[in-house]
Structure 1
Amino acid sequence: MNKPFSQACENNKAPILSVLQHHLKAASSLLEVGSGTGQHAAYMATHLPYIQWQPSDVDSNLSGIRQWCDEANCANLLQPVPFDVNILPHPNQHHHLFSANTLHIMSWDEVQSLFKLIPHLIYPEGFAFFYGPFKYDGQFTSPSNADFDLWLKQRGPHQGIRDFEAVRELAERSGLSLIDDVAMPANNQLLVWRRER
């Protein structure tokens, strides 16, 4: 069976890895929320052998993620587990959390639920990495992001590029401090938060 594939993942995996390597120095565990095709999990775990990488997603995506995990054959890459932002508590805490291209796909209620979960998902002083497009001061960072937002809303009215300021407010309520906002390819950002002790 052919593995699921995303060209966007292929394009952004190396720049994302560079940021993760800058912040993740010690042996630790990481929960990936919304692993999608599984490409990021396979790539990051291969290049971060000291990080125990836990992929997760909705049930319908787990079989595809499993194919990428099996092919990567990394001791530090765990089999994917189901993740639902509406279920609390989740059984296992990790040191860090990573999520790419999820906040604009989920409804705003689900985004709020995810950030409420973060204190239950990662330990104090752990990092939370969120990759994707964002608006700043209500403005898109590029015409292509404005077009993408329109396409998302046509696909599902609950979807759309999120306002950075609104996401920051959710993060701060959950005890996260922004420590980096890195410009990435294709008009995306990688937001790096640290959970306060």
Structure 2
Amino acid sequence: MARQAALLLLTIHGYEIPAYAVGNDFYRQALQLDLRGKREYTDTILTAMGGIEKAQFSRIKSLLKLSDEAIELADRHNVEEFRLRYVVTVSAEYHAEILRQIIDLNLTAKQIKELCEGGDLQPDTEDPIEKLPPAALKMAKVTQSVTTLTPQDLARALMLQEADPAIARARLQALRKLIMEAERFLVSD
């Protein structure tokens, strides 16, 4: 359905739809498009998608953010949108692994949400790294490149991401609090 949504969006925005097979990157162009600029087509598109609501359309379209391997797994195993919506919130490098866990362990939407938000639902393994939430591993990786960043670059990136100085400042404050609490754990270990 995500590819169908993409084709509909691309069509109403004047993109030429090729008559040959295309890859996922072609469909991902639709991530930059929405129905706001083409309100006259909104009802027609939502009806063509099975009479869904705008919010459901957006959730379906967001599935285009899945990595190619994750899309293939989701297609092959008919994984429903409500089980995939949380997967797109994590880094693409983790999508396929999360999909494998969804399929192998038949995870519920609640379990998937907890896994993607950092809950410890991964199977017990000998490797403690595999038990860590993906977000924690990403943050640890970021600390390795902190010496190559300037404060101005970080501030500009936050502004690009958040588009609001107050929210960017709040993100930095939350990060500062997280770092201070993490330092306490390092001292006590």
TM-score, normalised with respect to structure 2 = 0.29
- Give 1 or 2: higher helix fraction: 2
The structure with the greater share of residues assigned to strand is: 1
TM-score, normalised to structure 1, is 0.28
- Which entry has the higher C-alpha Rg, 1 or 2? 2
